[in-house]
Amino acid sequence: MAPELVEEMSRPREQVRVLPALEKAEKGVVMRFAPNPSGPLHLGHARAAVLNDAYVLRYGGRYVLRIEDTDPKRVDPLAYDMVREDIEWLGLAISDIVYQSDRFDLYYRYGRELIERGGAYVCTCDNERFREMKLARKACPCRGRSIEEDLAAFEKMRAGEYEEGDATLRVRTDLDHPDPAMRDYPAFRILKSPPHPRMDAFLYPLMNFSVAVDDHLLGITHVIRGKDHIANTRRQRYIFDYFGWEPPVYRHYGRMGIEGVVLSTSQMRAGIAAGEYQGWDDIRIGTLRAIARRGITPEAVREAVLDIGIGETDISFSWENLFARNKAVVDPVANRYFFVPDPVLVRVKGAPDHVAHALLHPAHPERGTRDLHFTGQILLPREDMEKGRVMIRLKDLFNIEISGEGEDISARFAGESLAEARAQKAPIIQWLPEGTGIPCTLVTPNGNRTGICEPGVAREKGAVVQFERVGFARIDAVTPEGIIAYFTHR
């Protein structure tokens, strides 16, 4: 095992909230994460994925990744890979992978059996007409056909002899059910286009059927999903009952909104197509790849999600809490550098040439220093010049006194005493020797900040660093023109 991993595991965990116990879990569990491959995973997926993962880890057992690609209209062929990458990033302990598109023969077989058991019938009613009858608690004419007729019609559906919308297999539930959502819901439909990227079919199972069959066949013991599935859980119950199967234990957590970002895959896709977003990792959308690009770690996502738990209350996910978790992960690791945003050139008079040795990390001197050669001309953040301070401490260097304003700022050496700087309440600010730094663009959700950073930052590509007094940032790209850094958080 890699040494970093050992260190990672022995590092005292932040106190992550203990999830409530699951009933019937003592002897181990089989759980599932079942995304639809319509795009990359986002924070909403992460909640389901991590919660299930945590329970599998806690009780032991298997964790099935089930790709729910039964609707070709909502399958993006590229998403299969993206989902896999995102799962890897999250570090889920997946033990089995199944694709529903590989299992259509199974669904057909159980579809026939459901008909034979009297649990389903082929309905050829017009959609709108069926809806009216359903709301009036009336049976549609198709409901009374014989099992043989339904079986034959089901075969015709499979063979492609019906056109889209002309026939559907319905589960026979209870037309008097007080909840109209329960009444004779559909289990299979006809679809002739678009073609499925992984197979050929005219007859497609709907989610409530394929999910119920698979949950049983895969031996799923516990299902944790959003409360938008409560009705589906009840619908699936009919199928379990018809087959005499024991359903899993279900938990439904509340709806989660996230401030400031789009979470819907279709909206994100539309935004990308319209050129509004740059891609699936645009920092303004809530995909995992987007937050990863900003320097959010999977550990932080995991902890934030566990912190939220499986409560049934609707919540609004706050970046503050995620950032706090992330900071705890990243702060001990991130090397420190100077980044001078919107720099102004200042000549310092009367100062001796000097080499500053700034620590890469204040808590880890053994990591070494960045050495900055002062030779008279320096770059300072314009922001700090506009505050009217006279005495300033250049971090790891010496004190200066500022005079002038605007583009005409100059400075004078004011001694090396840190104590004196303290006494005068001088701010300690970052600086760079003129001419040695490299251009750097800090990309933030509120726009970009340009400036100059230390040359050493070029060695940190892909890593999260801390720009002193500015905040954490992930070094996204190092090009001949300069560095692109993504702002993580303060």
**Least Å from the CB of residue 232 to RNA:** 5
Out of 90, 122, 140, 207, point to the residue binding RNA (CB under 7 A): 207
**Least Å from the CB of residue 17 to RNA:** 5
**Least Å from the CB of residue 304 to RNA:** 8
Sign of CA dihedral 338, 341, 347, 349: negative
| Omega of the bond leading into 194 within 30 degrees of 0 (cis) | yes
CA distance 105 to 126: 27
Query: Is residue 307 part of the contact set for RNA (CB under 7 A)?
Result: yes
Which is nearer to RNA, 355 or 477 (by Cβ)?
355
Which is nearer to RNA, 190 or 301 (by Cβ)?
190
What number of other Cβ atoms are within 10 A of residue 247's Cβ? 17
Q: 154, exposed or middle or buried, with CB in 10 Å at 0-12, 13-18, 19+?
A: buried
Residue 126 per-residue DSSP state: -
Closest CA to 366 of 390, 335, 396: 335
Residues 408 to 427 in contact with RNA, rule: CB under 7 A: 418, 427
Which is nearer to RNA, 182 or 438 (by Cβ)?
182
Tokens of 144: 């009374």
CA distances (Å), 203 to each of 36, 165, 271, 312, 397, in order? 18, 11, 32, 36, 74
Q: How many residues bind RNA (CB under 7 A)?
A: 80
Q: Which own/partner contact pairs does 458-461 have at CB distance under 8 Å and 24+ positions apart?
A: 458/483, 460/335, 460/337
Query: Is residue 161 part of the contact set for RNA (CB under 7 A)?
Result: no
Contact 338, 432 (CB under 8 A): yes
Residues 82 to 141 in contact with RNA, rule: CB under 7 A: 126-127, 130-131, 134-135
Query: Binding string to RNA for residues 244 to 283, with x set by CB under 7 A, is what?
Result: --------x-xx----------------------------
Sign of CA dihedral 446, 450, 451, 455: positive
Residue 287 per-residue DSSP state: B
CA distances (Å), 294 to each of 82, 161, 182, 326, 489, in order? 18, 52, 44, 11, 9
CA distance 490 to 406: 28
Query: Binding string to RNA for residues 315 to 354, with x set by CB under 7 A, is what?
Result: xxxx-xx-xx--xx--xx---x------------------
Contact 307, 17 (CB under 8 A): yes
Residues 436 to 465 in contact with RNA, rule: CB under 7 A: none
**Least Å from the CB of residue 371 to RNA:** 14
**Least Å from the CB of residue 351 to RNA:** 14
**Least Å from the CB of residue 94 to RNA:** 17
**Least Å from the CB of residue 206 to RNA:** 4
**Least Å from the CB of residue 278 to RNA:** 26
Which is nearer to RNA, 88 or 314 (by Cβ)?
314
Out of 62, 216, 393, 474, point to the residue binding RNA (CB under 7 A): 393
Residues listed for the chain: 490
Residues 28 to 57 in contact with RNA, rule: CB under 7 A: 34-36
**Least Å from the CB of residue 12 to RNA:** 11
Among the residue ranges 57-65, 86-94, 269-277, 394-402, the one whose residues contact RNA (CB under 7 A): 394-402
Out of 309, 376, 415, 455, point to the residue binding RNA (CB under 7 A): 309
**Least Å from the CB of residue 148 to RNA:** 23
Query: Is residue 17 part of the contact set for RNA (CB under 7 A)?
Result: yes
SS3 263: coil
Out of 6, 20, 159, 435, point to the residue binding RNA (CB under 7 A): 20
Which is nearer to RNA, 228 or 371 (by Cβ)?
228
Out of 40, 61, 186, 295, point to the residue binding RNA (CB under 7 A): 186
Q: 297, exposed or middle or buried, with CB in 10 Å at 0-12, 13-18, 19+?
A: buried
